[in-house]
Structure 1
Amino acid sequence: MSSAPAGPLLIVEDDATFARTLKRSFERRDYEVTSCAGLAEVAALLAHTRPAYAVVDLKLAGESGLDCVKALHAHDPTMRIVVLTGFASIATAVEAIKLGACHYLPKPANADDIEKAFGRVEGDVSVPLAGRPTSLKNLEWERIHETLVETEFNISETARRLGMHRRTLARKLEKRQVT
């Protein structure tokens, strides 16, 4: 059952297979779907379309989906934007919401999850609080990711702020992709 009315939808996703799958799912729900792979294409599309909804992958090839969220929100502050990511972090969730996203979902997310997120206007106080302690590796990763966001994904400046060698940071980032 649909919680949000169908309308123009933009999917910003660099994984062509996932983008096609989402596109087909939303077209079956009567959305008018347009998809693109990055910020340059978003800017070109916004010149002649006005989507009511957008699904944005946080990590696009060589760029941050947060830039797309910012551009989409600037284009139309009423647009319902849902951010998807394979590596959820508190820092990026907060930034996405600050920049205009209405919701933030970890992958894998399907059309049902995304459509519910479009329809959500208020927070949910019944969400269970995490009872397990965060591991040291996760705390380190969240701090690295937070600093990356602060430095607009500048690796050298992030390494300097964290007090680590640039190559060490690069190796850590290779092991766990930033989204």
Structure 2
Amino acid sequence: MSAHEATPKMLLVDDDFTFLQVLARAMRKRGFDVLTADNVPKAESLLLKHSPDFAVVDLKMEGPSGLALIASLRASNPEMKIVILTGYASIATAVEAIKLGASNYLCKPANADEIISALLCKAANPEQPVKERPMSVDRLEWEHIQQVLTANQGNISATARQLGMHRRTLQRKLQKRPVRE
């Protein structure tokens, strides 16, 4: 929270209008001054006038992904806490989001309290339990595809070539939700 403001400012960026409105209402009830945008360019234009303390950004939207917004958010306020939300979670995108400067990363569906907890999280938990069961083969495939796709900057054709599969096959795999671990 900025020293000159009594109410912390939060920017919410998501192309799901209903989710955006519900989350904005929940955050206002929790004491935040909320700004909303449904894509990266609109969010960047809001940053010209406002410097939020917090940002909650959807990963996958029409146009540029939420990852493309992280640099602008950091430039607007280097102390800003940023959480990336996604329904398409993968290790590769989580690592990329953190490398780019996100404070945390959450899988949808996430409620307002979980989001606030992720925003206010001070440090990693060294006591975090490690799962005993390894990932399924399907989940490993999903993670590998996401890692190669990230390395190819989202280029599906280049990713398909690198994975040795037909582009349409890759597109079908990407349209499916990630496999549960």
TM-score by length of 2: 0.90
Paired with 2:143 and 2:82, the residues of 1 have a C-alpha distance of: 23
Deviation of residue 163 (structure 1)? 1.5
Paired with 1:175 and 1:113, the residues of 2 have a C-alpha distance of: 25
Paired with 2:69 and 2:149, the residues of 1 have a C-alpha distance of: 17
Instruction: Within 5 Å, give how 1:138-153 maps onto structure 2.
Output: 138-153=139-154
Q: What amino acid sits opposite 2:155 in the alignment?
A: N
Q: Structure 1 residue 13 and structure 2 residue 14: aligned?
A: yes
Deviation of residue 145 (structure 1)? 0.7
**How many residues align structurally?**
173
Deviation of residue 174 (structure 1)? 2.2
Deviation of residue 6 (structure 1)? 4.8
Q: What amino acid sits opposite 2:15 in the alignment?
A: D
Aligned to 1:126: 127
Asked whether the equivalents of residues 6 and 29 of structure 1 are also in contact (C-alpha less than 8 Å), the reply is: no
Q: Structure 1 residue 93 and structure 2 residue 103: aligned?
A: no
Asked whether the equivalents of residues 8 and 53 of structure 2 are also in contact (C-alpha less than 8 Å), the reply is: yes
Higher RCO (CA < 8 A, seq sep 6+): 1
Aligned to 1:103: 104
Q: Which runs of 5+ in 2 are unaligned?
A: 1-5
Asked whether the equivalents of residues 53 and 79 of structure 2 are also in contact (C-alpha less than 8 Å), the reply is: yes
Q: What amino acid sits opposite 1:158 in the alignment?
A: T
Asked whether the equivalents of residues 59 and 85 of structure 1 are also in contact (C-alpha less than 8 Å), the reply is: yes
Task: After superposition, give the CA deviation of every residue in 1:15-74 in whole Å (9 maximum; x if it has no partner).
Answer: 111111110011011211011111111111111111110001111124321112232123
Give the 4+ runs in structure 1 shifted more than 3 A: none
Aligned to 1:33: 34
Q: What amino acid sits opposite 2:36 in the alignment?
A: S
Q: What amino acid sits opposite 1:82 in the alignment?
A: V
TM-score by length of 1: 0.91
Paired with 2:141 and 2:63, the residues of 1 have a C-alpha distance of: 23
| Percentage of matched positions with identical amino acids | 49
Q: What amino acid sits opposite 1:164 in the alignment?
A: M
Paired with 2:153 and 2:49, the residues of 1 have a C-alpha distance of: 29
Q: Which runs of 5+ in 1 are unaligned?
A: none
Please tell me the root mean square deviation across aligned C-alpha atoms, in Å: 1.5
Aligned to 1:154: 155
